[in-house]
Amino acid sequence: MNKVLTDLSFAEWIRYIFDHPVTEPAWYWDADANCAELEPQHVITHATKLFQNSVELLTPYTDAQTNQGLWFLVGECTSPLYALTEISIPLEQRVQCIRSMSTVFEEFFAVRCTPHLSHLDEAGAGALNPVCYMWWDILPLVGQPEDTARREIDEACLSVMETTLQLPSVACQESALHGLGHWGHSYQHQCQSIITAFVDHHRNLRPELKRYASFAMQRYVN
């Protein structure tokens, strides 16, 4: 019988998310799996700390375990990060959580992902590449330019994508292009400008990645 966990320390929360065998379907779809129901404030605090210290905190886990856990944390069907939409949490804390995602890409994904393109299902890709690629697709946030209260949230997301695009990592660049392709439906001019600047300053891109950048400009990503 599953338990509802309402009072997890940060260390316990990390183990709850990542310390599982890799299964298909994943552990969190098991009807008997324990369920953590933390206050949204605690989710934001814990997630920010995880993102800021991802290298140290995720070292004990395999790439496959980490992919599985991050998919649970970020994925729209299961995501505790719906807390990012909780207006009772101070805006600056939610923005900080989003901006801390830059560290995950720069210090963690850029190092542990392999230089394969996920949208082409290239053979040999590492176990972490899927969640890196799908990050902005599964994160439970979408651009909402008509909502002035969401402006700083949206700006933070776009800023992280733009920063990630500059990393010397094919996987991270593809992830950012994927996200910008989706967010282009809400911020067409801004996303197209970011992608154009990227292509203009990276003349030696793999042809396949350059083509994907063109697709992202047209908002033709999946």
Q: Does the pLDDT at position 42 exceed 80?
A: yes
Domain regions of the chain by residue span: 4-217
Q: What is the mean pLDDT of residues 50-64?
A: 98
Give the pLDDT band (50/70/90) at residue 7.
confident
Sign of CA dihedral 92, 94, 95, 97: positive
pLDDT of residue 79: 86
With a CB cutoff of 8 Å and minimum separation 6, the contacts of 217 are 181, 184, 191, 192, 195, 196
pLDDT digits (tens, 9 = 90+) for 97-119: 999 999 999 999 999 999 999 99
- pLDDT at position 5 is 75
Question: Cβ distance 181 to 172 under 8 Å?
Answer: no
Q: What is the pTM of this model?
A: 0.95
